[in-house]
Structure 1
Amino acid sequence: MVMIVSYSYDDVSRLTGLSITHPTSTYDVAWSYGYNPAGQVISQTQSNNLYNFTARTAGTTNYTNNALNQATAAGRRL
């Protein structure tokens, strides 16, 4: 049984994607991350509900941060 883990990065070496390919495709999962110009994570997308935490669903949630990198708003999941 072999699992393949892949990472992707942008031009300034920030993680933009992480995927795990499992021999049984039911367990495949991918995460992607979006950043604002200040380098703060502003979005995360997850492809498989099997990896959810409490009350989390696959989709995208957008965040707004202030100058101190504190979340000031979280959008709805799309």
Structure 2
Amino acid sequence: MIKKTTEIDAILLNLNKAIDAHYQWLVSMFHSVVARDASKPEITDNHSYGLCQFGRWLDHLGPLDNDELPYVRLMDS
């Protein structure tokens, strides 16, 4: 899993954008809970993780190396 510096920079930039979007999603989710609004599929859908930017970022990483899998499994649990 050795990557070039430019690849790492691009990954980190995209990760930061995805995390920012995730926090915005979190605020929206709390607003929906307080308002009892279940009309937003990006919050209520069973596969909402695939609708948010952070979930798409994870999906676009591609196949993971064996040394990366335990960390992703921790996030899934």
Scaled by the length of structure 1, what TM-score is found? 0.24
More helix by share: 2
The higher-RCO structure (CA 8 Å, 6+ apart) is: 2
More strand by share: 1
Q: Which has the larger radius of gyration?
A: 2
Scaled by the length of structure 2, what TM-score is found? 0.24
